């Protein structure tokens, strides 16, 4: 993807999301999980210092502002928390996918997408994934309405 040509950015971690800023343009839509994941180097430094201090992690507000300078279509929420509330932190991908499917380009195809995806999953996986998918969809719908 060329610089300034990205339509959608789904970021599972704030620093990683901000690292893709050069790909964004004024029309880009950014959906970011605001749960911090301490990069290995910073975590190792904390271990060596004998603490769990993550004060070296960049300020979330500054990361957000750096993205909003490029596009006003920025949405952040704690997808990790929604995944955990749905039963497993591992389902964060479904939370973020549900959020993406709430955006205007994808929303008209939501039912078709979920039906198709569900057909490809074993029943046990379908049951584990529908909740997180809907949680992400609902959260993003609230953010788009300015409710949350």
Residuewise pLDDT in 10s, the chain (148 residues): 999 999 999 999 999 999 999 999 999 999 999 999 877 766 677 677 766 555 578 899 999 999 999 999 999 999 999 999 988 999 999 999 999 999 988 888 888 888 898 899 998 888 899 999 999 999 999 999 988 6
Q: How far is CA 119 from CA 63, 96, 102, 112, 115, in A?
A: 38, 20, 20, 11, 6
Write out the two tokens for 113: 């997408």
Q: Model pTM?
A: 0.87
Q: How far apart are the first and last CA of the chain?
A: 31
């Amino acid at each position: 993807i060329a610089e300034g040509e990205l339509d959608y950015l789904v970021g599972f971690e704030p620093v990683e999301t901000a690292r893709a800023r050069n790909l964004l343009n004024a029309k880009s839509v950014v959906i970011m999980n605001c749960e911090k994941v301490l990069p290995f180097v910073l975590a190792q430094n904390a271990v060596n210092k004998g603490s769990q201090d993550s004060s070296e992690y960049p300020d979330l507000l500054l990361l957000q502002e750096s993205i909003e300078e490029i596009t006003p279509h920025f949405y952040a929420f704690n997808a990790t928390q929604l995944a955990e509330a749905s039963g497993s932190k591992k389902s964060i991908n479904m939370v973020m996918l549900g959020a993406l499917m709430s955006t205007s380009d994808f929303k008209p195809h939501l039912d078709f997408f979920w039906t198709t995806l569900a057909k490809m999953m074993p029943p046990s996986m379908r049951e584990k994934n529908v909740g997180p998918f809907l949680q992400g969809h609902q959260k993003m719908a609230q953010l788009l309405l300015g409710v949350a």
